Structure 1
Amino acid sequence: MATTITSILKDGQQYMQTWPMQKQLYTMFPEGRVIAATKLSITVMPALAVLTVAMILHVQGYEKLPQAIAMGAFFLSLPMQGLIWLGHRSNQLLPPSLNSWYLDIHQKMQMQGCALQSPKAKPKYRELASLLKTAFDELDKAFTQRWL
Structure 2
Amino acid sequence: MSVIEIIKLGHRYLKLWPERPELSEYFQEYYAISLARFVWRNFLGFSLFILLLFTLVAGQQNMSLLVFYVVFALSMPIQVLVMLGVKADKMLPPGLSSWYKEGLARYNESGGQLQLSSQKPRYIDLAQLLNLTYQSSIK
Could you say whether these structures have the same fold, taking a TM-score greater than 0.5 normalized by the shorter chain as the test?
A: yes
Two-structure CA RMSD over aligned residues (Å): 2.0
Q: State, as a whole percentage, how many aligned pairs show the same letter.
A: 27
2:16 equivalent in structure 1: 18
SS of the residue 2:61 aligns to: helix
1:1-148 correspondence runs (5 A)? 3-117=1-115, 119-139=117-137
Question: Runs of at least 4 residues of structure 1 off by over 2 A?
Answer: 27-44
1:75 CA displacement: 1.3
Structure with larger RCO (C-alpha < 8 A, sep 6+): 2
Q: Deviations along 1:105-125, whole A, 9 cap, x unmatched?
A: 111112212122264310101
Count the aligned residue pairs.
Answer: 139
Instruction: Give the whole-Å Cα distance in 1 for the aligned partners of 2:116 and 2:37.
Output: 32
1:43 CA displacement: 2.8
Instruction: Give the whole-Å Cα distance in 1 for the aligned partners of 2:60 and 2:113.
Output: 61
Give, as a single letter, the amino acid of the residue that structure 2 aligns with 1:104: E
Q: Deviations along 1:46-100, whole A, 9 cap, x unmatched?
A: 2221221232233223221011111111211221222112111110001111111
Q: Kindly tell me: are residues 63 and 90 of structure 1, through their superposed partners in 2, closer, same or farther at Cα, counting changes over 3 Å?
A: same
Scaled by the length of structure 1, the TM-score of the pair is 0.82
Instruction: Give the whole-Å Cα distance in 1 for the aligned partners of 2:106 and 2:66.
Output: 55
Give, as a single letter, the amino acid of the residue that structure 1 aligns with 2:5: S
Scaled by the length of structure 2, the TM-score of the pair is 0.87
Would you say the 8 A contact 1:46–1:76 is kept in 2? yes
- Farther off after superposition, 94-103 or 38-47: 38-47
